[in-house]
Amino acid sequence: MTDSPVFVSESESAALVDDDLALAAAREAFLATAHGSTFPVVIGSSSTPGTRFTLKSGSAGDLVGVKIGSFWPDNTDLPRHSSTIVLLDPATGRLRAVVEAAAANAYRTAAADALAVRTLARDDSRTLTVIGTGHQALHEARAVSRVRPIDRVLVVGRRADAARRFAADVAAATGLPVEAVDTRTGVAEADVLVTATTAREPLFDASWVRPGTHVSAMGVDGPGKQELPVALHDRAKLFCDLPEQSTTIGEFQHAPSAAPVALGAVLAGTAPGRTSPEDVTVFDSSGFALQDLTLAAALLHRHTVPGGTE
């Protein structure tokens, strides 16, 4: 194969991505965790203090490549997060494609959440609570509300004005009634509870969580970060993307004895998921390269075959 590499620009990928594409790519990535490989994550920086880039690489089947994620905190006109996915040609090792995916990255992360909710939450989940009022939290609300018969969204933020503004944004994105509430109310009334924050300590009390609730912790991807109370783990069935990563840089770094089950194993039918409507299920997402590679491949396919789908 000596095909020229394909370049998909940020504006192209932003126009191509949608929740269905991202969800199908997420499912493929989680299934691939059983046989694929992920390699050590690099955290680097530019010569400007405070900037950060991460390299997440992996391979599975005919996918091999790396996602370069960047965080430039001083960006004002542009988003602070960017993402570039590089795919190598599995047959030759040469460059196959470069996909700019800053906007698509938010869909990718939210799709992992939606996949976990579709796999683990009760079928009759109606109330979705989101803790966190940032850009990613909005994507989580939209993606999750599509996979269950959600008819009400509760939002929880530290600042009342941010929570009200976020509630309006979620209402616009989902078409659902949305209410800003206090943390205890949000947790206690949730069928599905999503945390999407940069917290470094538990956001709520484990005793507030009702039996039957599904919890997705989306914000923890590094040492010291924490969203969930450790006491919740004792009452819950625990799931994650990559167990080894989740117990080192994910939510379960705070619960050394936790043995979370890979969501991919549940999807593949090799491990049980929820077994009772009373189960509390917890899913921890710390993010892995195969999500980026399957996302890039899906975008590439849609880019190459206009109107094509996965």
CB of 134 to a second copy, least distance (A): 18
Instruction: Pick the binder of a second copy from 25, 86, 106, 236 (CB under 8 A).
Output: 86
237 catalytically annotated: no
Backbone angles phi, psi at 288, to 5 degrees: -145, 160
Instruction: HSE, CB side, 13 Å, CA atoms: give it for residue 189.
Output: 21
Q: How many CB atoms lie within 10 A of CB 276?
A: 9
Taking CB under 8 A as the binding criterion, the range among 98-106, 149-157, 226-234, 246-254 that sits at the site for a second copy is: 98-106
Instruction: Please identify which of the residues 56, 67, 225, 237 carries the catalytic annotation.
Output: 67
CB of 85 to a second copy, least distance (A): 10
CB of 9 to a second copy, least distance (A): 7
227 interacts with a second copy by CB under 8 A: no
Contact (CB, 8 A) for 141 and 153: yes
Closer CB to a second copy, 92 or 309, in the complex: 92
Distance between CA 29 and CA 27 in Å, rounded?
5
Distance between CA 239 and CA 219 in Å, rounded?
15
100 interacts with a second copy by CB under 8 A: yes
304 interacts with a second copy by CB under 8 A: no
Q: Taking every pair of C-alpha atoms in the chain, what is the biggest distance, in angstroms?
A: 59
Contact (CB, 8 A) for 141 and 207: no
Q: Which residues are CB-contacts of 180 (< 8 A; sequence separation ≥ 6)?
A: 154, 155, 156, 157, 160, 163, 164, 166, 167
Instruction: Pick the binder of a second copy from 15, 34, 43, 168 (CB under 8 A).
Output: 43
Chain residues 158-177 in contact with a second copy, contact rule CB under 8 A: none
28 interacts with a second copy by CB under 8 A: no
CB of 2 to a second copy, least distance (A): 7
Distance between CA 4 and CA 260 in Å, rounded?
42
Q: Which of 149, 77, 154, 142 is nearest to 114 (CA)?
A: 142
Taking CB under 8 A as the binding criterion, the range among 63-71, 128-136, 161-169, 181-189 that sits at the site for a second copy is: 63-71
Q: Hey, which residues are catalytic here?
A: 67
Catalog residues that contact a second copy under the rule CB under 8 A.
2, 4-5, 7, 9-10, 35-37, 39-40, 42-48, 51, 53, 55, 57-62, 64, 66, 68, 70-72, 75, 77-78, 80, 82, 84, 86, 88, 90-95, 98, 100, 102
